[in-house]
Amino acid sequence: MIAVVDYGAGNVQSVVNALDRIGVQNHLTADAEVIQVADSIIVPGVGAARDTMRNLQQAGLVDPILAFIDSGRPYLGICMGMQALMTESHEHGGQKCLDIVPGVARLLEVDLQVPHMGWNAVDYTATGAEHPLFDGIPNGSEFYFAHSFACFPDDAAWVLGTTDYGMAFPSVVGRGTVLAVQFHPEKSGPNGLRMLWNFTQLAQAGALSDAVEARAD
Which position among 116, 131, 147, 184 bears the catalytic label?
184
Catalytic member of 27, 33, 79, 151: 79
Under 8 Å between Cβ of 116 and 146: yes
The distance between the two most distant Cα atoms of the chain, rounded to a whole number of Å, is: 46
Ramachandran area for residue 68 (φ above 0: left; ψ -120 to 50: alpha; else beta):
alpha
Active site residue 151: no
User: Can 184 be counted among the known catalytic residues?
Assistant: yes
Q: Is 79 part of the annotated catalytic residue set?
A: yes
Instruction: Give the whole-angstrom CA distance, residue 121 versus residue 53.
Output: 29
Name the catalytic one among 88, 147, 186, 213.
186
Q: Is the peptide bond before 64 cis (omega within 30 degrees of 0)?
A: no
Q: Write phi, then psi, for 175 (nearest 5 degrees).
A: -160, 130
Question: Which amino acid, residue 159?
Answer: V
Active-site residue list: 79, 184, 186
